[in-house]
A and B are shown apart, each in its own frame.
Chain A
């Protein structure tokens, strides 16, 4: 079984719709992250969370919100999707106390906003 899972894997939606992407992990890591990846650009950080009570904005948080429902679950919401949010979205986890805080990625969600 995968250590970091994301649902859905693919989603096509229309402008203005509310979308939620979910991430779950069984690695027991305390830190979780949401990134988006666009062609020709590096992975860019949207939000990150160091524990259940800690949520922080990344470099491109506008238009997104997150919820850390439990240590193992971190969801990303697009309140009103727009076409330039079409991208590949990755969730990642890391352990602050071990493995040099290396981040491990989920399989990704391909989101298309029409």
Chain B
């Protein structure tokens, strides 16, 4: 089967660092995405990993270990506007040539002053 697990909720303090973990079990793994979604708004693309290692983009970094079926999103220098849900999504190759995107339920992050 295909399964993605991430914590339901996390809290952190403004200015701190937070790590949001994602574990997955999928066949045909073909990349992992992180999206940010503010309440009632569209998910917006944050990062993409297909090879093992760390991808850094400003205050956000994303890590992937394909052998462990594990990824994390690291947010540094937290700001109040970072309060949002963070969605882990795994792309899995399907028969017929289609890459399906499978979403986790999301981690709701609350940043406090």
Tell me the A residues contacting B by CB distance below 8 Å.
Answer: 4, 40-45, 48, 50, 56, 88, 90, 100-108, 110
Contacts and interface: CB of A to CB of B under 8 A. Distances in A.
A101 B105 contact: no
B79 interface: no
Interface stretch (B12-20, B36-44, B60-68): B36-44
Given A42-B103, A90-B42, 10 more contacts: A42-B105, A43-B89, A45-B100, A56-B98, A100-B48, A100-B50, A103-B33, A105-B42, A105-B43, A107-B41
Contacts, number: 46
Interface of B: 4, 31, 33, 40-45, 48, 50, 87, 89, 91, 98-106
A43 B106 CA distance: 9
22 contacts: A42-B4, A42-B102, A42-B104, A42-B106, A43-B87, A43-B89, A44-B103, A48-B98, A88-B40, A100-B31, A101-B91, A101-B99, A102-B45, A103-B33, A103-B45, A103-B101, A104-B45, A105-B42, A105-B43, A107-B41, A108-B40, A108-B42
